[in-house]
Amino acid sequence: MSFDIQAIRNIAIIAHVDHGKTTLVDALLNQSGTFRDNEEVPTCALDSNELERERGITILSKNTAVTYNDTRINIVDTPGHADFGGEVERVLGMVDGCLLVVDANEGPMPQTRFVLKKALEQGLRPIVFVNKIDRARVEPETAVDKVLDLFLELGADDDQCDFPYLFGSGLGGFAKTEVKSENDNMKPLFEAIIRQVPPPVGDVKKPLQLQVTTLDYSDFLGTIIIGRVHNGVIKNGQRTCLIKEDGSLKKGRINKLLGFKGLKRIEIEEANAGDIVALAGFDEVSIGETVACPDEPKPLPLIKVDEPTLQMTFVVNDSPFAGKEGKFVTSRQLKDRLNKELLTNVALRVEDTDSPDRFSVSGRGELHLGILIETMRREGYEFQVSQPQVIFRTIDEIKCEPVETLVLDVPEASIGACIESLGVRKGEMQNMETGTDHRTQLEFVIPSRGLIGFRGEFIRATRGEGIMSHSFFEYRPSVGDFEQRRNGVLISFEEGVATFYSLKNAEDRGQFFITPGAKVYKGMIIGENKRPQDLELNICRAKQLTNMRSAGADELDQLQSPIEMTLERALEYIGPGEMLEVTPESIRLRKLKAKKNL
């Protein structure tokens, strides 16, 4: 299955989250003849991860390949969220071009800026695909103008600014060069990729060089390396060596060589320079290392990614309910799992602390760390995490903090509340555009710590009708301290089971996070107070049975709906001196100061 290097195209698909990358890949797979006529094909085929399907976002970059007119097109689907920018950065070195997908209605958004900036830094010339033009009230030409403005803003050169663009719909399965022309297939996009993306640069006569960009695992093959062959030829059974980060060599043999065809990996005998392959044969591998010829080992430059901006402390669970729900609960198991994550998650950092059961974990944002926490709890891990903190840096002897670009799409009635809330959090408005449907788009630059806990406030201010997205912009001098408003919390006074009677009597104190029958312990946060102070409550007291009235006489009473405390909401809500207890079955908030008295 070896292809001539001139008949290969390597392309990454980049876009803002939810602009239709994965759906577009579905259309390319379907129309390239990859599937049989009677084959059942899943939607969003590349979103194979359980969390990706639940949330409708791409978290991990994926590889696939299609053949069109004897040309092999290797496609890499990348995450759209800036928190997973490490995934984008490491795969862009595998490709020679990129397809920038932009929503015809929304135009470029914060993550569009982020992923496009990375592509332009790699010297790639993007093809722009204006997606979802079959929706009502869209302005595709305006979207192209906005993309050009973004190219100029990011310092693109003349060749990059003269980008080719197409219009179409990934869901509808069509692409066209003019908005008003008629077409019902993806042929124009396939032809644009073959015409505009250059063939890979590489020499089959040079010694083998393959860079590790993705790692996978198989119960049968062990660690699977995915990467691009930069030079030489790679063969099944070939003797090779792995050049480690520190320059040391580890000799080995290619036990299995795999190529990509649609959604499948197929066994191949050899691949040439320019192709993207998967191979097994080395166990301890890190992303960025080089698989090379043992006779002439020459390393490729290591992959560099942006540093993390947010930090949390992962702690062994020591609450009264510790060890009751989780399978992995010890500090050794927690440390081993975090170290395993470091092998594949290039944007993550894990550091030991002065305590053996506490680990400092740094990532790109709340979503980046939240996905790691959710993955671990589903695997059976039980632990605690602290409030997220931004990572300050000293640049030219000035204390600097991460700043983000924030875009809000809100109803007109909510504009004042959003501007006031962000003003308190040191947000600076950059732009304001009013649409035709009584909605307004607000653009801010705001310190990252100003966004911690903002999402819940934003949902309340817009009554759930607002849309917000943000991405890392740059480091700027610190704006100093500012008040991050939040009411006090309601805390359980004792260990036991929450009763309807006690919750009903305490309803006027605030809003609860729990329902009757929930198990609680002393120091556990059970709700939000209406006042700024924290308040301890006894919510385990049952109504006494008397001769006059039975204990169940008030069962027709209704409790107000509790706040559903999801993992993301809990991470945003948690404050100083509080911890989030995470188990496979539960998410609980607790006060730290109470744990010594339990």
The reply to whether 436 falls in a domain is yes
| Angle subtended by helix axes 140-153 and 110-121, to nearest 10 | 50
Alpha carbon distance 311, 364 (integer Å): 9
Q: What is the CATH number of the domain that holds 453?
A: 3.30.70.240
- DSSP at 294: S
Domain boundary among 426, 460, 477: 477
CATH code for the domain in which residue 285 is found:
2.40.30.10
- Which residue carries 């901006």 as its tokens? 309
Phi, psi of 73 (to 5 degrees): -110, 110
Residue 48, Ramachandran bin (φ over 0: left; ψ between -120 and 50: alpha; else beta): alpha
| Binding site members | 18-23, 131-134
415 in the same domain as 344: no
User: Which of 477, 504, 531 is a domain's end point?
Assistant: 477
Residues 376/334, Cβ–Cβ less than 8 Å: no
Residue 320 and residue 469 in one domain: no
Last residue of a domain, one of 265, 292, 319: 292
Domain check: are 91 and 230 in the same one?
no
What's the number of domains the chain is made of? 4
Angle of helix 187-196 relative to helix 21-31, nearest 10 degrees, comes to: 100
d(CA 364, CA 390): 10
The answer to whether residue 515 is domain-embedded is yes
CATH value at residue 515: 3.30.70.870
Tokens of 481: 């301290």
Residue the block writes with tokens 């983000």: 404
Residues 284 and 423 in one domain: no
The encoded tokens of residue 87 equal: 């995934």
The answer to whether 325 and 584 have CB atoms below 8 angstroms apart is: yes
Q: In this structure, what are the phi and psi dihedrals at residue 290, rounded to the nearest 5 degrees?
A: -120, 130
How much is the pTM? 0.73
**DSSP per-residue letters across 515-550:** -TT-EE-TTEEEEEESSSS-EEE---PPPPP-SSS-
On whether residue 36 sits in a domain, the answer given is: yes
CA distances, 62 to each of 32, 48, 85, 302, 498 (Å)? 18, 9, 14, 21, 46
End-to-end CA distance of the chain: 65
Same domain for 532 and 544? Answer: yes
Co-location of 345 and 473 in the same domain: no
Distances (CA, A) of 352 to 299, 331, 374, 455, 466: 30, 11, 22, 31, 40
C-alpha span between 370 and 238 (Å, rounded): 41
Report the C-alpha gap between 459 and 396 in whole angstroms. Answer: 39
Residue 299 lies in a domain: no
Residues 589 and 451 in one domain: no
Burial 505-514 (b: 16+ CB within 10 A, else e): ebeebbebbb
Considering the domain architecture, whether residues 177 and 51 belong to the same structural domain is answered as yes
- Is position 353 within any domain? yes
Specify whether 274 is located in the same domain as 285.
yes
Residue 223 amino acid letter: T
CA 397 from centroid of its chain's CA atoms: 32
Q: From first to last of its 598 residues, what are the pLDDT tens digits of the chain? A: 556 788 889 998 888 767 777 788 888 888 876 544 444 444 444 444 454 445 444 445 567 888 888 888 888 877 655 555 556 767 787 888 889 989 888 888 767 777 788 888 888 889 999 998 888 778 888 888 988 988 888 888 888 888 899 999 888 888 998 888 888 888 999 999 999 999 888 888 899 999 888 877 777 888 888 888 999 999 999 999 999 888 888 998 999 898 888 777 888 888 888 888 889 888 888 878 899 998 888 888 887 766 788 899 999 999 999 888 889 999 999 999 998 888 777 778 899 989 889 999 998 777 788 889 988 999 999 999 998 888 898 888 899 998 988 888 888 888 999 998 898 888 999 888 887 667 888 889 999 888 887 877 888 888 888 877 777 788 899 888 776 666 889 999 889 999 988 888 888 888 899 888 889 999 999 998 888 888 999 988 887 665 555 555 555 567 788 888 888 888 888 888 899 999 999 999 998 864 433 3
Q: Report if residue 484 sits inside a domain.
A: yes
Largest CA-CA distance found in the chain, in angstroms, rounded = 96
Domain of residue 467, residue span:
402-477
Question: What tokens were used for 513?
Answer: 């996070």
- Are 339 and 488 part of one and the same domain? yes
Whether residue 315 is found in the same domain as residue 412: no
Q: Do 266 and 407 fall into the same domain?
A: no
In a domain, 397, yes or no: no
| Residues annotated in a binding site for GTP | 18-23, 131-134
- Judge whether 461 lies within some domain: yes
| One-letter amino acid for residue 524 of the chain | M
**Domain CATH code at residue 110:** 3.40.50.300
DSSP summary character for residue 381: B
